[in-house]
Amino acid sequence: MTPAVAFIRGINVGGKNPLPMASLRAICEGIGLAKVSTYIQSGNVVFKAPAKTIPGLSHHLAAEIEKTHGFRPGVVVRTLDETQAALRACPFDGDPARVLVMFLETKAVTGSAHAVAALCTGPERVVIADREAYLHFPEGVGASKLSMARLEAALGTPGTSRNVRTIARVIELMEGLRAV
């Protein structure tokens, strides 16, 4: 059994796509995930799963949420090792609330770096690496004019972002699953 996390996009934001964490945990347990726990209301689910099931898990979990709650969120799954590597590779220092990792569903399309650079007209910086994009918002995400929808379009793949503080906490929770 492999410790992993599902980052679920766009739930419980501004009253849209409500998904109580107890329901989310029940859905995860219902599809065979073990030792399921959630971290904050924004869709971070930590669990253990057979390694062979990890590649198709994002689609399976999204389909189950749609079946039970009537909407299909984006879901990105990463193992503990993948999440640790993503955090270690972050090229930005600074306020952990202003540095984000965007976990991408697939690798960014070839040539996306140029399109992404054209979007960054303010102080924001974006670095693309494998299945992640690293985002630095020195003036804060709320003050930025960088649109996540346009960023995803430039990358050519959907994703979901978490700040490095949240990622570090999720990693701690997954590390705790190694022993159980």
Q: Tens of pLDDT along 131-161?
A: 999 999 999 988 899 989 999 999 999 999 9
pLDDT of residue 15: 75
What residues form DSSP beta bridges with 144? none
Q: Which residues neighbour 48 within 8 Å (Cβ) at sequence distance 6 or greater? A: 1, 2, 3, 4, 33, 34, 35, 177, 180
CB atoms within 10 A of CB 116: 22
Q: Where are the alpha helices (DSSP H) in the chain?
A: 21-30, 54-69, 80-88, 112-119, 148-155, 164-177
Residue 77 in contact with residue 6, Cβ under 8 Å? yes
pTM of the full structure: 0.94
Q: Which CA distances in Å does 35 have to 31, 67, 167?
A: 12, 23, 19
Q: State yes or no: pLDDT of 13 exceeds 80.
A: no
Residue in 57, 59, 42, 141 with CA at minimum distance from that of residue 99 = 141
| pLDDT: which is higher, 3 or 111 | 3
The answer to whether residue 19 scores a pLDDT higher than 90 is: yes
The span from the CA of 116 to the CA of 153, in Å, is 9
CATH 1.10.1060 at 84-167, yes or no: no
- Among 2.60.40.1930, 3.30.70.1280, 3.40.50.620, 1.10.3720.10, what is the CATH number of 2-79? 3.30.70.1280
CATH 3.30.70.1280: which residues of the chain?
Answer: 2-79
Contact status, residue 6 vs residue 21, Cβ threshold 8 Å: no
**How much is the pLDDT for 108?**
95
